[in-house]
Structure 1
């Protein structure tokens, strides 16, 4: 499997984990005795989403930059 495809798939599945963690956080905090530690559950998927999202955002710019560099050589 191609590297960029793997990162894109990982980003998609991580976004599902993030949404589930946010939903669990809302449910846990809405209880009569809220579990405050559950509010930190979305943070690990969020860090991974930021990292992979920045990479995916930069891909078109990096390929354009590589194309110009190869054309000059």
Structure 2
């Protein structure tokens, strides 16, 4: 498995973790629980999710330049 496939797999799992954190935040807000850490819990997977998403977004553009050179 090459590195692009690893990044895709990590991105998928991070998106699941982010979705679960958002659901936990919505449940906490609905139950009126005053726990700030629940709201901040969504940022833990969000930062690497942003990084992997930007990498996956840039892949077609980076690959296009190397194909033009060969």
- Same fold by TM-score greater than 0.5: yes
Could you tell me which runs of 5 or more consecutive residues in structure 2 were left unpaired when the two chains were aligned.
Answer: none
Q: Which stretch has the larger CA shift, 12-21 or 26-35?
A: 26-35
Instruction: Report which structure shows greater RCO (CA 8 Å, sep ≥6).
Output: 2
Structure 2: distance between partners of 1:12 and 1:33 = 29
Change over 3 Å in CA distance of 1:26–1:53 after alignment to 2: same
Change over 3 Å in CA distance of 1:58–1:41 after alignment to 2: same
Structure 2: distance between partners of 1:30 and 1:12 = 27
2:58 corresponds in structure 1 to: 58
Moved over 3 A (4+): none
Q: How many equivalent pairs are there?
A: 70
- What is the aligned-residue RMSD (CA, Å)? 1.1
- The residue correspondences of 1:1-73 to structure 2 (distance < 5 A) are 1-69=1-69, 71=70
TM-score by length of structure 2 reads 0.90
